[in-house]
Amino acid sequence: MREALNVIFAITFFFLLDGTSSQSVYTVVLHKNAGFSVQETMNISLILVIVFFPTKFIGTYIIDALGRRPVMLLGGIICFSKSVLMIATQLVIHFAGESLLTKMMYVAVESLTAAIPATGVNTLHVLFISEFFPPSARTSVAQVLLITAIVIDSPLLSLFPFVYSIFPPGFFAPFAISQFFFGIYLYRHMPETSGRAVYDIIDSMEQVVFSWSQTLADEKVPLLRDRASTLLATKRNSILNTSRARVQANSDNSKFISVFSLLRTIKN
């Protein structure tokens, strides 16, 4: 259960910390800084909606056809590329000013943003709630994810005007960094759940966690054995060096000397 929570929270954070909400709320500001007028901004948004509208219906088919891991890999690459391109666009705008290049770069950012839902990756957390958890826990997990999204998204929207006015790329840079680490974690630990029962998925994840714990225990056994041997040797030396042990040793030596002297006297 814990590994399932880690995976589903990693997916949530990966796509939550990508700046999409800030792009949608402050779209006019971002477009104007890139060199677009308000009318051009509205026209670009309308064109992108029309172009990517058919893709809204193929996401679920892609998930069933390719599986969960390939869809996550495809959507994650697009999302991470969008974040990196956004940072590059803001750097060019900040140091060189608006130009045709910044317009083209920001249109590419908007296109990648619109292409992410086309992969169906936005529905993964909903699918995983139904595939990772029993029915009694699904509502609670969904509520926690919803509250987490609100708690994280609201401060980001509030901080945008302050950070963006100081150094625009600085607002988007943490998103790419966080996506890099969450992406590595998901690539290593996210299971393929297509066509599998809930109990089978949970059992396989528990076996993976158990194998990790066994490997960790096997790695620590030699160290623990060495420490135990050292501790026993230290205790043995401390016992031998006590005053009682020294008195006993001296007594034994005295007895040996007395017997030796007696035998020598008899011999003479």
Band (125; pLDDT cuts 50, 70, 90): confident
Look at residue 70 and tell me whether its pLDDT is greater than 80. yes
CATH number of the domain that residue 37 is part of: 1.20.1250.20
More confident residue, 51 or 204: 51
Q: Is the same domain home to 187 and 220? A: no
The pLDDT of residue 18 is 86
The number of folded domains in the chain is: 2
pTM of the predicted protein model: 0.72
In a domain, 53, yes or no: yes
State the average pLDDT over residues 151-162. 90
pLDDT tens sequence across 201-217: 555 555 554 454 554 44
Sign of torsion over alpha carbons 112, 115, 121, 125:
positive
Q: Is the same domain home to 190 and 241? A: no
More confident residue, 137 or 196: 137
Q: Is the same domain home to 249 and 185? A: no
- Render 87-152 in DSSP notation, one character per residue: HHHHHHHHHH-S-HHHHHHHHHHHHHHHHTGGGTGGGHHHHHHHHHS-HHHHHHHHHHHHHHHHHH
User: Domain span at residue 75?
Assistant: 2-196
State the average pLDDT over residues 122-138. 83
The pLDDT of residue 264 is 59
Whether 160 and 26 have beta carbons less than 8 Å apart is answered as yes
Q: Is the same domain home to 192 and 223? A: no
